[in-house]
Amino acid sequence: MTDESDEKRLVRFDLPKGLDAAAIAQAIREHGRRILDEAAAEKKAKENK
């Protein structure tokens, strides 16, 4: 569920050789909460302007 005013972002990058889906999934699990918290903080900062 997204707000229509939310910016849509496309991020593209090259993965290091030898990085498989399991390694990617583990990194997402480890860093996902921090990424979501940062996104929420950015949105809140924009709303408070």
- pLDDT of amino acid 7: 62
Whether the full predicted model's pTM is greater than 0.85, yes or no, is: no
Say how many C-beta atoms besides its own lie within 10 A of residue 49's C-beta.
4
Q: Count how many domains the chain has.
A: 1
Residue 12 belongs to a domain: no
Model confidence at 2: pLDDT above 60: no
- pLDDT of amino acid 41: 92
CA distances, 12 to each of 9, 15, 47 (Å): 10, 10, 27
- pLDDT of amino acid 20: 82
Residue 34 belongs to a domain: yes
Domain that holds residue 30: 20-49
**5-44 tens-digit pLDDT:** 556 666 666 777 777 888 888 888 888 888 888 889 999 9
- pLDDT of amino acid 42: 92
